[in-house]
Structure 1
Amino acid sequence: MSLNLALSSALSGLQTNQKGLDLVSRNIANVNTVGYTKKIFNQESRVLSGTGAGVQVTEVTRRVDFGLIEELNRETAKLEELSVRSDYYDRMQDLFGTPADNSSIAHIMAELVEEVETLALEPDKTEQHLATVQRAEDAARKLNSMGTRLQQLRLDADQEIERTVDQANGLLHDIQTLNEEIAYALATGRDGTDLIDQRDVAVQQLTSLMNVTTFTRGSGELTVYTEGGSILVDREVKELNHTALSDMSPWQTKGGRDIQGITLNGADITDDITEGKLSALIDMRDSVLTDYQAQIDELTRGLADTVNQVNNRGTSYPNLANEYVGTRTFLDTTAQEITLDASHDTVIGLFDADGTQVDSTTLKTILGSPGPHTLEDVRADLATWLAGAGGGALASPSVTFTDGKLDIKLNSNDYGLSFKDVKTVDPGDPATWVHEDATISFNADGDGASTTDSTHQGFASFLGLNDVYTAPRADWAWDSGVKSAGWRPFVGGDLVFSDNDPAGGLNRGTLTIAGTDTLQDIADKINDDPGLSSFLEAEVVREGEGVRLRVKHREGYDMAVTQSGAGTDVMTALGLGVSSAGLSNDIAIKDEISANPSLISRGSMLYNADTGEYTLSAGDNSTANAMAEALRGTQAFDSAGRLPATTRSLIDHATLTLSLNAREASTNETRTDYQTGLVDTLNRKHAEISAVNMDEELAQLIIFEQSYAASAKVIATTAEMFDVLNSIV
């Protein structure tokens, strides 16, 4: 019996050492295999009926530190996130540059200011008119480029999200396939450690894409959940879904449901993804890039408003302006009204080629009173005056509203028209009048006399008659100011929505706002109202550290939002106005000025007390000086993107955006360098524990080789003893 036991024990040793040699061979063969972990040969004494009966292999295990693997996965996900951000910040840096770069928007704006200052010195030189307009056009094109590139980056991020979601789905299917193979191996007593290695690699890759949680069942199968608890893998795969857009515009946001979220079983789980590559791409598409778009749009608004306001105060003489096409679109000129303030008026002058006055009047004179007057009355009275100006000097002047915009044509190359707002210190003595913008009170919804919905500075500026910058788009969207998510107006009132849709018109719909309504409450009220939602859609769009209310016309018609009655406290509290979103993408030089740069304003009408008439001078540089001063001076900028409301010059505001981008890029680069070092350290620690060590394996090889030989020797010796025993018997 003892010889049989010895033979059995030796045979078990032979078999066990053979398995050990196989395992060492496997470890050595996979020394460079990514994700492969060192396999440990676990053996124990075999006992039969209380008596030792050799040795047996219990199981093959992996030498791993599970806590270290989890930490490595988390930090790798952070590194992937930072790497994605680095890529996009690098591309933004190429776009924005630094303030000192010749191609940066700050430098281009500085060049524009310099050209305007030169224009003030040389107001009569045609080549300087061309150079000034060219610099203004350079600024517009740079802003166009920045806006377009930002939207291209958003589109790239959205399309990369789609590809990454497909990659994640592929990994989920890999995990499920490996789950099935691992469960089968464990159920049949086979070694499944190599399969578990492969599954760990898939989990690490999945974790680098998005944050997930996992749980291992007793069968060896791995269940995968989203951070919010939704099942991704549990004996079957639940696929993620995202369809990218083919084109991206500043108006398109996830908050406005223009961009599809990442869905699982039809439910949006985008907010559950807070780590990994997908998190960075989502943040770039919906936060970082949209914030920079908002900042560039606010800069564009400041540039356009500043240049247009000043240019509308002046004249382009000796180049006669014989046609004015307004840029403001009016919804109903027969009902909408304006009123001039009591202490100001607008001088209207008709001049010949020598700059000599042919005729002049004031707006209050031809209207008969400060107002209110409908826009149609203003048009008709201005047309009547032009027809009789200078004793009928103009053969066929016309004043019309074309697509809601005022269009004044003298239909003569011999005369020019000019406007000048003045403060009438002594209404009867033009010599005392001071050049100063008139205040225009505008009743946008035509809801009754003495109702002011908004005020505007300058008659020509209000109409946009002599704008330099324009944007060929409708006022179809209105935004509130940036507010906190829980902000409330604490004043109530009725908002009135009007449009120029042939099926609509003024006072098309009304919404009652309560003082306790949040922006989301207001958006929900609009969307839930059958009448309003038939032509409007409202959304709450995140921006910077807050949110905006955005109301859009479904059909893209021009729209006005006013407050019912005489007050504007709700409108003021909301900060509701025509949206600037995408303005940088659309801004352009007005066609008339682009075609004839000499139409840019340099001077203005001058009153001659001796003759009692106005005159124009080719050497007058008053408007050019005023424009240079305005461009150099400070102005108020609203909160936009990641920049707070501030007062500074256009150049400084442009520099602030560039500096912010450079600072964020530098910070991200520093964090990426640190994270790279951290992940490298964790990888080294993981390798020290789990990677195959050739010295260890060769030492084990010798041990198993010797053990194998010893077991074989025991078997041979036992066989000889059996032979001796047989010969005795």
Structure 2
Amino acid sequence: MSIARALGNAISGLTATARGTETVAANLANASTPGYAKRDMVVSAQTAGGNAGGVRVNGIARVVNASVLSESRLAEGARAEATARLDFATAVEDVVGITGNSGSLGSALSAFRSALTSAASRPDDDIRLTQVVDKATALARQLNTASGRVQAARAEADQAIATDVATLNKSLAQVADLNRKIAVMEADGSDPSSLYDQRQGIIGDIAKIVPVQEVTRPAGAVALFTAEGAVLLDGTTPTEFSFSAAVQMTADATAGSGLSMLVQNGLELTPSQTRLYAGGRLAANFAIRDDLAPQAQALLDDLAFDLHQRLATPAVDGSLNATSAGLFTDAGARAIATNKTGLAGRIGVNDAVVASRGGEVWRLRTGLEATAAGPVGDGALLVAMSDALDAATAPAAGTDFGGKGSLADRLGLVESRISTARVNAQSDAAVRNSQADTITSRLTADGVDSDAEMQKLLQYEQAYAANARVIQAIQTMMDQILGI
């Protein structure tokens, strides 16, 4: 081997080790960077005239396990969906509470029943009658609060949809732009690895909103589809989405009637078409707004209607007639089954017994619509009210309760259904989180291994030293030749 060839081999070796060292440094520095894929230097033997001529650096390869990456994106979408559902179920359970816990609906009902019993034993005591009004007001307010929290959750979900749609549009535009930039860099022979990393991170964010499947296209571009097959991006122009958040959320607002639906390329999607975007945070928020929250609201409305009906009958209070409201009212009027939606948010105590509104507490003894006060020792009406709450009656017409039961039984059913929904959501979230964590671990294992990178660094150090010794030997030989 000639001195020139030996020198060329050594220089190519030094060049390769320098490039390899840069690759290792980049891997170690970005080991925890989202979207970063491990780099490996690709080399081959360099030949000159049919003889070995050192080492050639063919480029830097991104190492990505495409199948695991795809599974990870689907798992992260499922995790985001389950988390949103669990957050809603937990919020509803917290506001309804568990009987016996302070601030719960059950505690408010128990306090109201106790106040009735206490007043019935001393109907002449205006203080005890006032306590009945106060506890009835507290019960109504607790129902109002629960209803308000449900509607607030619907409003939050509606706003979250608008935010996610804006993010989706922006992210898809960024992916389309990166597709173009990558194609240009691929064409002129530049290394677009950093753009690939950036695009991978953006697609990961999209996957939490709408689970995506990535399909490779020529020139380094990718097409994106939802898990159900809807096109997000295939070409240079991404699908454009729009959504209008509600200005005010009301209990009677429904999808398509007061609430916006998802609009794709200018066309409003039907609920069945929206299922093409199922599996992520977007779908979860639509479910909360259009299904889960209305179901919780219906339970609260049924409970409020049952409470209203028990005390709005002439069989309990002889001063009432068929159109009277009773102790509890629907914003001052009698509640009716056909206008039950949102009743839990409107229910209140009859002004006739609220002193601050011109009412008289003696009506709790004599009758809500009595024309004059009766005997102060007559506690029959108070006893009748208490018995009405505890009576095992058939469900009020228009409610979803089944079988006979007391008001406490109805509340227990509401608590059970809400608690069950939370337990189911928590169980599903645990499964989804476990699956996502497992796949993330697999993806991480295929990523940067710090120990392996350090081993490579030692190998590059040894190769650098070996090539440096060759150059040093050549220099020594040249010095000797020149010294002859």
| Of 443, 451, 460, the match for 1:686 | 443
Cα 1:292–1:134, aligned 2, differ >3 Å: closer, same or farther?
A: same
Provide the C-alpha distance between the structure 2 equivalents of 1:144 and 1:250, rounded to a whole number of angstroms.
12
| Inter-partner Cα distance in structure 2 for 1:640 and 1:670 | 32
Does 1:598 find its partner at 2:362?
yes
> Is 1:308 aligned with 2:312?
yes
The answer to whether the 8 Å contact 2:97/2:106 transfers is no
- Residue-by-residue CA offset, 1:146-177 (whole Å, 9 max, x unaligned): 11221112112211222222222332233223
Paired amino acid for 1:585: G
- Given candidates 452, 474, 481, the residue that maps to 1:696 is 452
In structure 1, the partner of 2:76 is 76
| 2:446 aligned counterpart, secondary structure | helix
Structure-2 change in CA distance of 1:124 and 1:257 (3 Å): same
Deviation at 1:186, TM superposition (A): 1.7
Distance (whole Å) between structure 1 residues aligned to residue 130 and residue 326 of structure 2: 16
Q: Which amino acid aligns with 2:338?
A: V
Name the amino acid aligned to 2:215. Answer: F
1:194 corresponds to which residue?
Answer: 194
Question: 2:345 maps to which residue?
Answer: 585
Q: How many residues are aligned here?
A: 470
Partner of 1:276: 280
* Cα distance in 2, alignment partners of residues 112 and 723 from structure 1: 106
Q: Measured at CA, do residues 621 and 76 of structure 1 come closer, stay the same or move farther in structure 2, by a change above 3 Å?
A: same
CA–CA separation in structure 1 for the residues paired with 2:396 and 2:127 = 36
What's 1:494 paired with? none
Partner in structure 1 of residue 296 of structure 2: 292
Counterpart for residue 106 of structure 1: 106
Q: Counterparts in 2 of 1:72-471, with a 5 A limit? A: 72-226=72-226, 227-232=228-233, 234-254=235-255, 256-267=256-267, 268=269, 270-310=274-314, 313-315=317-319, 460-464=320-324, 467-471=326-330
Q: 1:603 to 1:148 in 2, by over 3 A?
A: closer
Q: Which amino acid aligns with 1:230?
A: V
Q: Larger relative contact order (C-alpha < 8 A, sep ≥ 6)?
A: 2
Give the CA deviation at 1:295: 0.4
Query: How many Å separate the matches in 1 of 2:298 and 2:17?
Result: 70
Q: Deviations over 1:9-67 (max 9, x none)?
A: 44433333332222223223324433322211121223467554433223322233222
Retained in 1: the 8 A contact 2:332–2:351?
no
Question: Match of 2:57, SS?
Answer: strand
Task: Name the counterpart of 1:665.
Answer: 422
Structure 2's unaligned 5+ residue stretches are 369-373
Aligned partners of 2:47 and 2:54 also within 8 Å = yes
| Aligned-residue offset at 1:309 | 0.9
CA contact (8 A) 1:311 1:467 kept: no
Report the CA distance between 1:182 and its aligned residue. Answer: 2.0
Query: What residue identity is the alignment partner of 2:281?
Result: K
Give secondary structure in 1 for the equivalent of 2:312: helix
Change (3 A) 1:116 1:720: closer
Go from structure 1 to structure 2 and tell me whether the alpha carbon gap of 1:723 and 1:128 turns closer, same or farther (over 3 Å shift). Answer: closer
Alignment-derived partner of residue 44 in structure 1: 44
What root-mean-square deviation, in Å, do the aligned CA atoms of Structure 1 and Structure 2 show? 3.4
Q: Secondary structure of 1:214's partner? A: strand
Q: TM-score, normalised by structure 2?
A: 0.85
Kept in 1: contact 2:108–2:135 (CA 8 A): yes
Pair 54,117 (structure 1): closer, same or farther in 2 beyond 3 Å:
same
Q: Is the 8 A contact 1:179 1:220 kept in 2?
A: yes
Cα distance in 2 for residues equivalent to 1:193 and 1:213 = 20
Partners of 2:42 and 2:107 lie apart in 1 by 71
SS of alignment partner, residue 27 of structure 2: helix
Q: Is contact 1:165-1:240 (8 Å) kept?
A: yes
**Structure 1 residue 688 displacement after superposition:** 2.2
TM-score (ref. length: structure 1)? 0.58
Question: Over residues 610-629 of structure 1, what are the superposed CA-to-partner deviations in whole Å (9 max), with x where a residue is unaligned?
Answer: xxxxxx76555444333322
Post-superposition Cα deviations, 1:93-136, rounded to whole Å, max 9, x if no partner, equal 33111111232222222232333334443344433433323322
Residues 689 and 617 from structure 1, CA distance in 2 versus in 1: closer, same or farther, beyond 3 angstroms? same
Q: 1:172–1:233: 8 Å Cα contact kept in structure 2? A: no
Cα distance in 1 for residues equivalent to 2:469 and 2:52: 19
Do the aligned partners of 1:225 and 1:232 also contact (CA within 8 Å) in 2?
yes
Distance 1:308 1:212 in 2: 55
- Unpaired stretches in structure 1, ≥5 consecutive residues: 316-459, 479-576, 605-615
Cα distance in 1, alignment partners of residues 74 and 252 from structure 2: 35
Give deviations 1:560-593, integer Å, cap 9, x for gaps.
xxxxxxxxxxxxxxxxx61310111111222223
For residues 495-514 of structure 1, the aligned pairs below 5 Å read none
Distance 1:150 1:721, change over 3 A: same
Distance 1:646 1:247, change over 3 A: farther
User: Is residue 316–residue 381 contact of structure 2 (8 Å, CA) maintained in 1?
Assistant: no
Q: CA deviation at 1:292?
A: 0.8
Give the superposition deviation at 1:275: 1.7
Match of 1:627 in 2: 385
**Separation in 2, partners of 1:65, 1:286:** 38
In structure 2, the residue corresponding to 1:45 is in which secondary structure? Answer: strand
Q: 1:461-489 CA deviation, whole Å, 9 max, x = no partner?
A: 3232x63222238999x9xxxxxxxxxxx
Rg: which structure is higher? 1
Structure 2 residue aligned with 1:706: 462
1:604-615 matched pairs, under 5 angstroms: none
SS at structure 2 position matched to 1:149: helix
1:217, distance to aligned residue in structure 2 (A): 0.6
Tell me if the contact between 1:224 and 1:234 (Cα under 8 Å) persists in the aligned partners: no
**Could you report, residue by residue, the CA deviation over 1:652-693 in whole angstroms, capped at 9, with x for unpaired residues?**
211222233233324433443454444334333322221241
- Secondary structure in 2 aligned to 1:648? coil
The DSSP-based 3-state class of the residue aligned with 1:169 is helix
Spell out, residue by residue over 1:202-243, the C-alpha distance to the aligned partner (whole angstroms, 9 max, x if none): 111211122222211121112122334233463233332222
- Deviation string 1:474-512 (CA, Å, 9 cap, x unpaired) is 999x9xxxxxxxxxxxxxxxxxxxxxxxxxxxxxxxxxx
Separation in structure 1 between the aligned mates of residue 74 and residue 393 of structure 2, nearest angstrom: 46
Mapped to 2, the partners of 1:713 and 1:230 lie a distance apart of: 58
Match of 2:331 in 1: 472
Counterpart secondary structure, 2:457 = helix
Q: Give the SS at the match of 2:252.
A: coil
Distance 1:682 1:64, change over 3 A: same
8 Å contact kept, 2:92–2:146: no
* Structure 2 counterpart of 1:599, one-letter code: R
For 1:14, give the aligned amino acid: L
TM-superposition CA deviations, 1:63-108 (whole Å, max 9, x none): 3322222222222222222322333333323311111123222222
The residue matched to 1:645 in structure 2 has which SS? coil
Tell whether 2:406 aligns with 1:649.
yes
Question: Which structure 2 residues correspond to residues 540-579 of structure 1 after superposition, within 5 A?
Answer: 578-579=338-339
Structure 2 distance, partners of 1:649, 1:111, is 16
CA distance in 2, matches of 1:274, 1:192: 33
Moved over 6 A (4+): 473-476, 638-641, 718-728
Change (3 A) 1:27 1:639: farther
- Determine helix, strand or coil for the equivalent of 1:578: helix
Distance 2:86 2:102 in 1: 24
Q: Distance in 2 between matches of 1:214 and 1:696?
A: 29
Q: Distance in 2 between matches of 1:26 and 1:463?
A: 78
- Please state which structure has a larger fraction of its residues in helix: 2
